[in-house]
Chains A and B, each alone.
Chain A
């Protein structure tokens, strides 16, 4: 089932953004998103893996080898799955960010909104 680019929801966008910094495992993605949004978006484990499933099925992310900086000796790390963006994921993320950028630009053109968006 191809992932519809327009349907990238906010949490999903944040997951992609988190992965844009390098490959991460599920819990790290969750922490990253929480930090990035100052705790506004708190992904529950179920929601998180649901999103991961959709993104995997949509071919936007894929499993990757553990990054070199992950401590290899730590038992927890040894069996975690890491995810990274695919080519398609990068494209989708860029397109979405462009869309959002355009949206913000448009909004800025509105004099009544201008003040808050400076």
Chain B
């Protein structure tokens, strides 16, 4: 199906919009025809389709171009036949043929050239494909760039902008009035159990406050969208399901519409099925939110906003209106909700809002892979220069016979273009494979945001553009050099050749080395950052803990029933052999996301910010399971139940930030915003700090309260610490869940170690890929050094012979060669280090605990380069030392 979709990109946008869906369907129906079964049928099918698509898309594109030309020139008359054009074409074909003959004659050269370009272009295409899927075009919505999300910052609470689950219904109602938005919708994210059928399934769900589908511009494949009545408070229960869900859970039931399904214990009627592919951040089920917005307090913020800019409106206009709105709300609501002071709303393109974290790494990779391409180009230019030196006489003869200089330059450019285009073709194949493998590198949580990275039309165009640029880059220097050839000198010179090309080639090698240094340094710095991150003491013990999430349907487990369930689950899990302790909690390190305002009884807190801390509910043995130690007071006990006095445990960050100078124990606080009275909670314990804000950020203040004093928590993580490998426990833990409730699914299972690793995945991906790139760069640079040195040795054979004849030792000669290499490496190193230190700002965001000008990394890179330089120069140096002075002098 995705291949078909890719094929659609061959057609102009207009055609695609009008007939795309139908075409896809026809492809699908055709493929299902009996004659297209089996390997042969399959092949026949693809041949048929590809012939058809190339022919018709070709005609469509030509038509598009012709129409545009007609519009542009305002004339309907076709261009007169253009004879000079045809002779241009003939020249090109002639050059191309000549080049082909050259390649066939020297297949090894052509193979090396095409292969190195294929790798470099392929790397570029693959990274571009990733960026395309992640950053440029992550969504298949029409006009995705006009789609924005509204982010909010409450400076009194935190300096972060949040987009997802960031705003309340009342705030949404205000934002709706923005005239820069033509359409707007909001949704809350959640998970719902779908039951009925064999196995209950946990489905990522969006709860819609307004009809979102027109905003993102998608229509259901079957059925309809929601009606106003269904979206209103307490409307008739309705659901729209994803294509995936329809296929996997309902077996593509054609009668799915109006069928009642069980969602979290309630019945809802299916009114629509969405088309295949990503619809909204990986959700599979869409249901109306169902609450009454008027009843929701202003400060309960759970909605994500998606809006489409009105025709002609810009983000700047939208932001200006949002700023006015924010100022009005600040004035009107600040007395009741202090967080509005100085709050800020901003519209950001939807893709950017969702993917802000991934972008930095992506751009660095694109730059890095661009450097690899430059190195490959320099290398190839070097090879071509070497060849043009040997082809000197051929070119000189052609010049002498009256060939125009530009004609020869053009011929050389045609040659390099042919090489690079062939390389581009190989590169696309490479990129296809690389992108297929890419999901391995990317954590699931980002994949679900809609990664549709693959080889699409844009990747193909990009590859073509790169191939052409590479071809021109590669051919440029040899072409220039060729046009400077003086036929007289060249023909007189004989076989020894001149040293003119040598300078140029040495300069190219210096460039190669400098570029590899930049890559090596970047890779080294990122590697060190990854190591530093791993070395950070997280404050808990990640090894040996299995985590998973359970969400109990409210209908089945009202109020305390959820507590009873988790109580007996933990009891049963702790009885499993090998389990040391088990606990349930609303969140676990290294990343906490639930936070709250609170008020201390002493209220000696800062004035500039509203006191704010992470809030976690947990069962008694939670700290033991995590490996966090108690610093003062006591942990939770089974006695901390609903009717008992409310208690809390805080971390050291909390104590030092909000209760410095006093004994935190027995201090009282209320949890929640201060807009209404809340019960007092007493601090009974202080725990040591652990990473709760990502692995690299300092810990945030955190309040932990016992689950058993709450009734609102039906969604908790189960954490199980074991002596053996945690993943091996999964089966028995599941068993324990099923023994209590056979309909209860578990999900998001991962080990604590995996959770920690995920939090530094950007550095990991970047470091891994940069290492690969740097390795390739190093190999290419070594080849470059080798080429230049062997050329230089053969050009200096006579000189070396003379030196040996007048008494130089063999090792002097070796030293002569090595000194030259050392010079090249030193200059390249100096340039590379300077460039990286100057451009260090670009990657400093990804670095942790290391500066761009890190002496250790620079030292290691120097060593590596020196080693590679010696290795590459070894063979030429050895050859130089074996020069027979008599032979060398007799040579001329």
Contacts and interface: CB of A to CB of B under 8 A. Distances in A.
Given A30-B26, A52-B19, A46 B48 contact: no
Interface in A27-47: 27, 30, 42, 44-47
Contacts of B23: 45-46, 49
Contacts of B254: 73-76
B273 A49 contact: no
4 closest Cβ pairs, A-B complex: A44-B52, A46-B56, A45-B26, A49-B19
Contact of B15 (A25, A27, A53, A80): A53
Interface string A73-86: 11110111100000
Contacts of A76: 25, 254
Contact of B26 (A48, A50, A53): A48
B495 interface: no
B48 A44 contact: yes
A26 interface: yes
Interface residues of A, number: 22
Given A26-B22, A45-B27, A53-B19, 10 more contacts: A27-B25, A44-B52, A46-B23, A46-B53, A46-B57, A47-B55, A75-B252, A75-B254, A75-B256, A76-B254
Interface residues on B, range: 20 to 34
B272 to A, nearest CB: 11
Contact of B22 (A50, A73, A75, A81): A81
Interface of A: 25-27, 30, 42, 44-50, 52-53, 73-76, 78-81
Interface of B: 11, 15, 18-19, 21-23, 25-27, 29-30, 48-49, 51-53, 55-57, 59-60, 221-223, 252, 254-256, 273
A53 B51 CA distance: 19
A75 B241 CA distance: 14
Nearest to B53: A46
A79 B26 contact: no
Contacts of A48: 26
Contacts of B60: 50
A47 B56 contact: yes
17 contacts: A26-B22, A26-B25, A26-B26, A44-B49, A45-B49, A45-B53, A46-B23, A47-B52, A49-B22, A50-B15, A53-B15, A73-B255, A74-B254, A75-B252, A78-B222, A79-B221, A79-B222
B56 A80 contact: no
Given A53-B15, A75-B222, A75-B252, A42 B53 contact: no
B26 A27 contact: yes
B65 to A, nearest CB: 16
Nearest to A49: B19
A45 B49 CA distance: 8
Given A46-B23, A75-B273, A53 B52 contact: no
A79 B24 CA distance: 13
Contacts of B49: 44-45
Contacts of B11: 46
A46 B25 contact: no
Contacts of B222: 75, 78-79
A113 B426 CA distance: 55
A37 B52 CA distance: 18
B545 to A, nearest CB: 45
Contacts of A46: 11, 23, 52-53, 55-57
Contacts of A27: 25-26, 29-30
